[in-house]
Amino acid sequence: MLQDIAREFRDLERYDFRVLTAVETAMRFFDWVPVDDLPSYARLPQEEVDYRIGRLSKHKLVQRKTAHYVGYKLTFTGYDVLGIEALVRRNVIESIGSKVGVGKESDIYDAERENGEIVIVKFHREGTTFRHVKRSRGYFGQAERCSWMLASRLAAEREYEALTSLYGSVVVPKPIAHNRHVIVMGFLNGREMGNTALGNPVTVLANVMLQIKSAYGRGVVHADLSEYNVIVCADGEVALIDWPQWVHISHPNADELLYRDVTNLLSYFARKYQVTKRTEDLVAYVKQRD
């Protein structure tokens, strides 16, 4: 979907963004924004809006529906474009590169900053479920309206919050910026543990447990740990990624989630490397204050 974003992005003009933003804003109040209402949201004449909305449609940034009236809504690509545009305008990134990963709930791209630094751009994709997003009225008037936009944005905000509070104490990607459902973070030069053969599994397990312990010390339980959310770097150092589901240690399910995180990792180490440890012992280690 995003493969084309760089190209589409170059094609777009100031007024295209203005109309796209108008659709986004009006979606607080409409499932399908009436085309007749767009001129006032965009502060542009009807003819200009008609021309722009045609271009946005062609690029699949908005979707059109004709029922009793002609209406438009933002697509995920349209939302992506708005997020990227804001990050480019703020000079966070200069250009977006290629896809480096597809997760369950995200698309991951590399991107370049003005100084040549390579960073990671994570687009959250949620919306089919409301896993950790409370049904909230207020944001969009109706709980169901634009649930994918709301859920994706809240997931990104939540992940960004975790990275900000953990960075420096736990090995996590460096938080750089976020906008809407998009996060920009430092690039980790390593591989998912689940796709790597470890030469030193015992050391790696100890490093992972140390990171979980450090996060716990900062009040955070990851709550979605698996061999795919651990990045192993060349020297056996590890980083923990993918934090949108974190909970505070005071959360009623924190203990259960910590136990599950540790169990997931231990069963992987047992299965793949015949390294066996007791979950209880490691959970106690994580919680122990020294």
Ligand X SMILES: Nc1ncnc2c1ncn2[C@@H]1O[C@H](COP(=O)(O)OP(=O)(O)O)[C@@H](O)[C@H]1O
Catalytic residues: 224
Distance from C-alpha of 267 to C-alpha of 274, rounded to nearest angstrom: 9
Residues 190-229 that bind Mg ion (CB under 5 A): 229
Given candidates 133, 185, 212, 254, which one binds ligand X under the rule CB under 6 A?
185
Kindly state the smallest distance separating residue 192's Cβ from ligand X, in Å.
5
245 binds ligand X (CB under 6 A): no
Distance from C-alpha of 280 to C-alpha of 17, rounded to nearest angstrom: 54
How many residues contact ligand X, by CB under 6 A?
A: 18
126 binds Mg ion (CB under 5 A): no
Distance from C-alpha of 157 to C-alpha of 139, rounded to nearest angstrom: 15
159 binds Mg ion (CB under 5 A): no
Q: Report the residue number whose CB is nearest to Mg ion.
A: 242
Amino acid identity, position 232: V
120 binds ligand X (CB under 6 A): yes
Residues 17-76 that bind ligand X (CB under 6 A): none
SS3 letters across the chain: CHHHHHHHHHHCCHHHHHHHHHHHHHCCCCCCEEHHHHHHHHCCCHHHHHHHHHHHHHCCCEEEEECCCEEEEECHHHHHHHHHHHHHHCCCCCEEEEEEEECCCEEEEEEECCCCCEEEEEEECCCCCCCCCCCCCCCCCCCCCCHHHHHHHHHHHHHHHHHHHHECCECCCCEEEEECCEEEEECCCEEEHHHCCCCCHHHHHHHHHHHHHHHHHCCEECCCCCCCCEEEECCCCEEECCCCCCEECCCCCHHHHHHHHHHHHHHHHHHHHCCCCCHHHHHHHHHCCC
16 binds Mg ion (CB under 5 A): no
Closer to ligand X by CB, 75 or 229: give it: 229
Closer to Mg ion by CB, 126 or 242: give it: 242
167 binds ligand X (CB under 6 A): no
Kindly state the smallest distance separating residue 188's Cβ from Mg ion, in Å.
12
Given candidates 24, 80, 126, 242, which one binds ligand X under the rule CB under 6 A?
242
Q: Strand pairing of 118-124 and 106-112?
A: antiparallel
Closer to ligand X by CB, 26 or 93: give it: 93
Given candidates 192, 236, 251, 273, which one binds ligand X under the rule CB under 6 A?
192
Given candidates 39, 97, 103, 236, which one binds ligand X under the rule CB under 6 A?
103
Amino acid identity, position 173: P
187 binds ligand X (CB under 6 A): yes
Closer to Mg ion by CB, 147 or 245: give it: 245
157 binds ligand X (CB under 6 A): no
Kindly state the smallest distance separating residue 101's Cβ from ligand X, in Å.
3
75 binds Mg ion (CB under 5 A): no
Residues 262-281 that bind ligand X (CB under 6 A): none
108 binds ligand X (CB under 6 A): yes
Kindly give, in sequence order, each residue whose CB lies less than 8 Å from that of residue 146, ignoring residues fewer than 6 positions away: 27, 28, 140
Binding site for ligand X (CB under 6 A): 100-101, 103-106, 108, 120, 122, 173, 185, 187-188, 192, 228-229, 241-242
Binding site for Mg ion (CB under 5 A): 103, 229, 242
